[in-house]
């Protein structure tokens, strides 16, 4: 990917702003793609993901639509490349977290449909295949499925004696990651509002004790459509924003995650063995240019109240920490004021070197491509003056590769080097603070009068 190709076609204002490390491009009703690339649509809200999906009728959403169609919101959690099949067709398995289902953008003003909303949130596993020179979704692919408020989950680890061994539902998943041991980890966020909203739906959500069964790291096998998700209590209960995983040379898991809070902390879990049911939790303390890990307890009060334990251990608060990425011996952390890198030769080391990587307003998602280049997605929560975008870090400067339409944010990126495709999630277009279902700020990507704006998984490919 040549820098000149990325920059061509953007205004001088955008280039000057990028060199200052600030996105100042005026927001538009449509999106903007850098010269040398074209944008393709892979899946939109309402597109069929299962073969029995009914037609998308946004003005009359039903549980059947929510169960079988691509959801309202999306964040890229993992992109998995399965072994090449005998037919020689390249395939991918895309896992997206589906964090939100806002009533004001999905239903008529003043109304809500919690039964539909609970099914719209959760996780989507979708098969993709490469046909006629582009990636397309496969309705009813082998791995394709939805995980939502009614999904049965196992609970494992030390806190099961307090919270139980099973629960119905995955709620408020904010992010996810693929692991070196061939599973996917999902980061549940704060489920409080969901438990209130779904109190009349069933699944025991009206029970005050049900809250303790949410806010965990969920592990599942995306390649096995029959696998049961497992909530791993050894990683503690907290509202999470981002998660990343690696493994030691002897096969022990190392998992990093951030707290979804305006002053959230950074955590690390190192497995005692090959699984996630026992290990050491620690919170990051940053002083000057050094990050040091402070170990936390493994007792049930610590695990169930991880945020309080981190505060007692003097964990360092970050400015709205978000996504995480690992690459070239660096742990990258996105936050509201930019991206910080923590460098180490060993991800289990007691200390890392802490260095600011780039200043970029509302950085929320990060990933590293096969060449080691850092990519950053921003989320200004519906800001109407500047566009959120996907940026590639070139010579220390964030260069805009894609700018989202009005009200939209970037829900991460993933890469397929074999086809030179950059996958990205365009979240909740048109959802500015004053927008509603009847009056969205834009109707991207269709711009049809009767069609609401649609969150969309896009592909950026060479033009």
Which pTM does this prediction carry?
A: 0.94
CATH topology for 3-46+148-462 is Neuraminidase (2.120.10)
pLDDT at 140: 85
Residue 459 has pLDDT above 50, yes or no: yes
In the predicted model, is pLDDT for residue 6 greater than 90? no
Q: Residue range 239-261: average pLDDT?
A: 98
Residue 281: closest CA among 292, 265, 270: 270
Q: CA-CA distance, 408 to 403, in Å (whole number)?
A: 9
Place of tokens 């309705």: 139
The span from the CA of 103 to the CA of 386, in Å, is 25
Q: Phi and psi for 87 in degrees, rounded to 5? A: -75, -5
- Tell me: pLDDT of 17 over 70: no
Average pLDDT value over all residues in the chain: 92
- Asked whether the predicted pLDDT for residue 25 surpasses 80, the reply is no
Q: CA–CA separation, 443 vs 29, rounded Å? A: 8
DSSP state of 250: T
Residue 87 has pLDDT above 80, yes or no: yes
Query: Do the Cβ atoms of 198 and 172 come closer than 8 Å?
Result: no
State whether residue 389 is helix, strand or coil. strand
């Amino acid at each position: 990917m040549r820098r000149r190709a990325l920059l061509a076609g953007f205004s001088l204002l955008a280039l000057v702003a990028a060199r200052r490390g600030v996105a100042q491009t005026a927001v538009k009703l449509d999106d903007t793609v850098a010269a040398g690339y074209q944008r393709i649509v892979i899946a939109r809200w309402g597109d069929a993901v299962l073969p029995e999906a009914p037609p998308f009728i946004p003005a009359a959403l039903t549980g059947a639509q929510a169960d079988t169609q691509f959801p309202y919101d999306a964040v890229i959690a993992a992109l998995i490349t399965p072994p090449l099949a005998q037919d020689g067709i390249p395939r991918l398995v895309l896992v997206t977290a589906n964090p939100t289902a806002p009533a004001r953008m999905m239903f008529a003003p003043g109304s809500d449909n919690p039964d539909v909303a609970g099914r719209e949130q959760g996780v989507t596993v979708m098969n993709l295949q490469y046909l006629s020179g582009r990636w397309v979704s496969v309705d009813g692919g082998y791995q394709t499925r939805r995980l939502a408020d009614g999904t049965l989950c196992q609970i494992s680890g030390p806190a099961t004696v307090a919270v139980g061994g099973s629960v119905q539902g995955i709620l408020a998943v904010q992010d996810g990651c693929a692991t070196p041991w061939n599973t996917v980890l999902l980061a549940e966020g704060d489920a409080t509002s969901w438990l209130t909203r779904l109190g009349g739906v069933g699944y025991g959500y009206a029970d005050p004790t049900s809250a303790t069964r949410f806010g965990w790291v969920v592990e599942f096998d995306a390649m096995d459509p029959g696998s049961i998700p497992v909530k791993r209590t050894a990683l503690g209960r907290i509202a999470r924003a981002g998660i990343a995983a690696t493994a030691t040379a002897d096969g022990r898991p190392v998992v990093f995650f951030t707290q979804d809070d305006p002053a959230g902390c950074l955590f690390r879990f190192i497995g005692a063995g090959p699984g996630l049911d026992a290990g050491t939790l620690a919170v990051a303390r940053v002083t000057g240019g050094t990050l040091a890990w402070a170990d936390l307890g493994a007792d049930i009060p610590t695990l169930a109240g991880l945020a309080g334990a981190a505060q007692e251990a003097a964990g360092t608060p970050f400015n709205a920490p978000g996504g995480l990425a690992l690459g070239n011996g660096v742990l990258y952390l996105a936050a509201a004021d930019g991206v910080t890198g923590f460098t180490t030769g060993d991800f289990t080391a007691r200390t890392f070197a802490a260095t600011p990587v780039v200043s970029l307003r509302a950085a929320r998602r990060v990933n590293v491509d096969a060449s080691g280049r850092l990519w950053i997605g921003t989320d200004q929560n519906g800001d109407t003056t500047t566009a959120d975008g996907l940026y590639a870090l070139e010579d220390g400067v964030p260069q805009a590769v894609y700018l989202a339409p009005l009200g939209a944010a970037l829900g991460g990126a993933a890469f397929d080097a074999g086809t030179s495709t950059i996958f990205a999630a365009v979240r909740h277009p048109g959802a500015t603070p004053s927008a509603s279902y009847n009056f969205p700020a834009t109707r991207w990507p269709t711009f049809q009068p009767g069609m609401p704006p649609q969150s969309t998984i896009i592909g950026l490919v060479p033009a």
